[in-house]
Structure 1
C-alpha cells in the first residue's frame, strides 16, 4: 500500500520510462495506490497537517477494508509518522495479533527542523512525543543508516532489537570494470533541495568550470531550477544539467565519471544520514568527494572510498578533485575500495536476509 508517486513531482511519472521495472509492473494487482486530495508540497502548516491527517485516515481505511485477511506482519515506513500510526490504530482495534515492523528511513521530526520547513515549538514537541511512542510500540525496528541507532535507543523504555538494513544495489548493478574515458568527468545526482545548500553546489559548479572540468548534474528538488538558471546565466558550459532520470540511466552516467559529489547541510540531524547517492557512486566504482559529516563521512574515510570535507569548504573539495585528476592510480585504488565496501556492507541480496529472518 502506497500513495501515488509524487517525488520530486507528480508529472514526472506520466513518462512511461519511469515505469521500467517489469518485476513490479507484473505485480501491479498487488499494489494499492492510495489517492490523496491534499498536497504534501505546501509549506503552509495547516495544509501540511491536513495532508498528514488525510494520509493517516486513508491508510487506516484501507487496513479496515482488509481486516479479514489476518496479516501476520505489517511493514510500515517513516517518514512521515502518520502512516505508522494508521497501522498502530489498526493493530489496537482489530489486528491484535499482527506484528508491526517499523522501517525508519529518516529521523522525523528532526528532518523537518533540519530543512527548516517550519518551526512551531508546541507542534514539534507533540511530534517528538508521537515519535517516541512509535519506537516504543513497534515490534521490530529497521534502520537504513547506522547513525539512527543511538537516537532511537535514547527514546526506548526497554532495549529493543534494531536491525540495520542499508539501501543497497542488486548484485547485477555493481560495476566491476569501468570503460576508459578520455575526458575527466565529475558527477552529482539527486536532490537539490532543502537538505542541500544550493549555494555550495553552485560554487562547486563554477570552480570546476573555471578549471575546465566537466561536471554532470542529474538534479531535482525545490532548488533545482535555481541551480539550472545559475548555470545558464553564468554560461558555465562545462556544467551539464539534466532533469530526473531513471535509476538505470543515472547509474550509467555515474559509471562514465571519475568522481562523484555529495552534499548535506551542516545541521546536526544530517550527521546521522547516509545519502543514497554515496552508495550509488560506490556501486559504479566512482570515488566520492563529499561535503558531509558524521555517519557518511566515517563510512567514506574508514573504507577509503573518497574524501570527506567540511560542508562549506568547497575550495578544498575542488582542489582535491584537481589533484586526483592528475593521479588516476589513486582514483582506481579508491574505486576498488568502493566495490569491496558495497559487496561487504551494502549488497541487497545479502542484507535482505536480515528481514527474512524476522518474518520466516
Structure 2
C-alpha cells in the first residue's frame, strides 16, 4: 500500500534560503519514490512577501502547476520582523492557521506528518494533526531552539526560556522519529530524550544531481563571494571587517545578502565608500549558484556562541557544490567538515586577519585552489546528494 505523508513547514518553494530548498527537495523526491506527499505551508514571506511578486522566483513549472498537493495558507504579516515579540505572534498565527487547515482535512489519513522546526510552534500544530489524522510524526530539526535564540541574544527572560526548554524537551520526546541536518545536533537531542528509543537520522542539506557541474567560468578579476542570510547569527561586524580588508587589497567582493542586518551592511558600505564590494539583490537559487561558480573563494561566518558550533550552514554546502573553496570563521561541526575534507580553511571567527591572509595566499596559488575545488566535488558526491540521502527518510517512512 502506498504510504502517505504530510509535510508541515513555514518555508517552501519559492522561498529563498536553505530551509525552503530543503523542503522542496524532500517533497519532490518522496513523490518520485512513490510516497504520496502533500505540503501544508504559508504564502511565501521570507524575507519579504513582496519579493515573490517577481515571477523569476517561480522558476519550477512542475511545482507551479501543482495545485492539489501544495496547500498554502494566507498570513497577515507582510514582512519578517526583527522584533522577537513580533516573530512570536507571527509563529503563533501560523500555528493557529495550520490547526484550522488540519481540521478541514482531518478525514484524509496520513501515515506520517513530517514537521520542520524551527519555529517550534508549528510542531505543536503537527501533534494536534497527529491526533486528528491518526498518523505518526517525524520531527525535522534544522536548528536547536531555544538555544539559537539565546545565541543571538535576542531574548533573556529566564522564566520564558525555561518554559521554552520544557516545550523543546516534550517536542523531542513525543516525536516518533527525528531527522537532523547537522551531526552536531545529535548529542543535544539524545540528552533531552534520555533513554527513549527512537531513530535519529542525519540527512544534511545538499544539491540535486542536476546542480553539480565540473565546469567553472571565472571573471577576469579574482573575486570572493558571500551569499545568504545577514542576520543576528552571522556576525555582521566581522563581515564588515572582511569587506573593508578585501576592498583595501583590491579584491572584488560579491555579496548576495538578505535578512534583518542586510540594510545595516549596505549602509556601512556606502558610508565607507567600499566600491569594491558588489551587492546583489536576493535572487533565485540557480542565479546564486552561478555567481558562486564564477567566484574564486567563498566565505562564511557564525558568531562565537556555543550553540553555533553544532550548526552546518547550508551556504557552505552550496559553496562546495559549486567547487568554490571556503574560507570561514566557524568552529565545531562546520569547521570539521571544511578541514577534514580539505575543501578550504576554517578559523576562529575572530581571526579576520588570518582569513584575509589566507585569501591573499590562495590568490597567488592557483594549484592549491584547483586541489581544493576537486576535493569539493568529491565530498559533495560522496555525502550530500539528495537523490542518495532521501533513502534514509524513505527508510523511516516504510519501516512501519
How far the C-alpha of 1:120 sits from its partner, in A, is 1.1
Distance (whole Å) between structure 2 residues aligned to residue 275 and residue 30 of structure 1:
29
How far the C-alpha of 1:40 sits from its partner, in A, is 7.5
**Do the aligned partners of 1:40 and 1:51 also contact (CA within 8 Å) in 2?**
no
- Is the deviation greater in 4-13 or in 245-254? 4-13
Distance (whole Å) between structure 2 residues aligned to residue 305 and residue 218 of structure 1:
22
How far the C-alpha of 1:38 sits from its partner, in A, is 5.0
Q: Give 2:281's aligned residue.
A: 243
How far the C-alpha of 1:231 sits from its partner, in A, is 1.5
SS in 2 for 1:282: helix
How far the C-alpha of 1:321 sits from its partner, in A, is 0.2
Number of residues paired by the alignment? 358
Structure-to-structure mapping, 1:195-274, within 5 angstroms: 195-274=233-312
SS in 1 for 2:123: helix
Structure-to-structure mapping, 1:201-350, within 5 angstroms: 201-350=239-388
**Do the aligned partners of 1:77 and 1:103 also contact (CA within 8 Å) in 2?**
yes
Structure-to-structure mapping, 1:23-172, within 5 angstroms: 23-37=62-76, 41-44=80-83, 46-92=85-131, 94-96=132-134, 98-157=135-194, 158-172=196-210
SS in 2 for 1:175: coil
Distance (whole Å) between structure 1 residues aligned to residue 189 and residue 386 of structure 2:
24
How far the C-alpha of 1:237 sits from its partner, in A, is 1.7
CA 83–309 in structure 1, closer or farther in 2 if over 3 Å, else same: same
How far the C-alpha of 1:90 sits from its partner, in A, is 2.8
Distance (whole Å) between structure 2 residues aligned to residue 83 and residue 314 of structure 1:
38
Listed one character per residue, the Cα deviations across residues 122-160 of structure 1 (whole Å, up to 9, x for unaligned) are 111111111111111111100111111111010013132
CA 45–207 in structure 1, closer or farther in 2 if over 3 Å, else same: closer
Distance (whole Å) between structure 2 residues aligned to residue 337 and residue 357 of structure 1:
29
SS in 1 for 2:349: coil
Distance (whole Å) between structure 1 residues aligned to residue 383 and residue 117 of structure 2:
23
CA 67–282 in structure 1, closer or farther in 2 if over 3 Å, else same: same
**Do the aligned partners of 2:46 and 2:79 also contact (CA within 8 Å) in 1?**
no
How far the C-alpha of 1:51 sits from its partner, in A, is 2.7
Pick from 214, 226, 229 the counterpart of residue 191 of structure 1: 229
Distance (whole Å) between structure 2 residues aligned to residue 149 and residue 39 of structure 1:
35
SS in 2 for 1:204: helix
SS in 1 for 2:59: coil
Distance (whole Å) between structure 2 residues aligned to residue 346 and residue 42 of structure 1:
32
- Is the deviation greater in 335-344 or in 41-50? 41-50
Distance (whole Å) between structure 2 residues aligned to residue 46 and residue 342 of structure 1:
39
How far the C-alpha of 1:39 sits from its partner, in A, is 6.7
TM-score (norm 2): 0.86
How far the C-alpha of 1:46 sits from its partner, in A, is 4.7
How far the C-alpha of 1:240 sits from its partner, in A, is 0.5
**Do the aligned partners of 2:48 and 2:79 also contact (CA within 8 Å) in 1?**
no
**Do the aligned partners of 1:78 and 1:102 also contact (CA within 8 Å) in 2?**
yes
TM-score (norm 1): 0.96
SS in 1 for 2:101: helix
Corresponding position: 1:176 with 2:214: yes
> How big is the alpha-carbon RMSD for the aligned residues of Structure 1 and Structure 2?
1.5
How far the C-alpha of 1:239 sits from its partner, in A, is 1.0
Listed one character per residue, the Cα deviations across residues 60-97 of structure 1 (whole Å, up to 9, x for unaligned) are 111111111111111110001111111112323x333x
CA 46–325 in structure 1, closer or farther in 2 if over 3 Å, else same: closer
Distance (whole Å) between structure 2 residues aligned to residue 278 and residue 186 of structure 1:
14
Q: Give 2:34's aligned residue.
A: none
**Do the aligned partners of 1:78 and 1:106 also contact (CA within 8 Å) in 2?**
yes
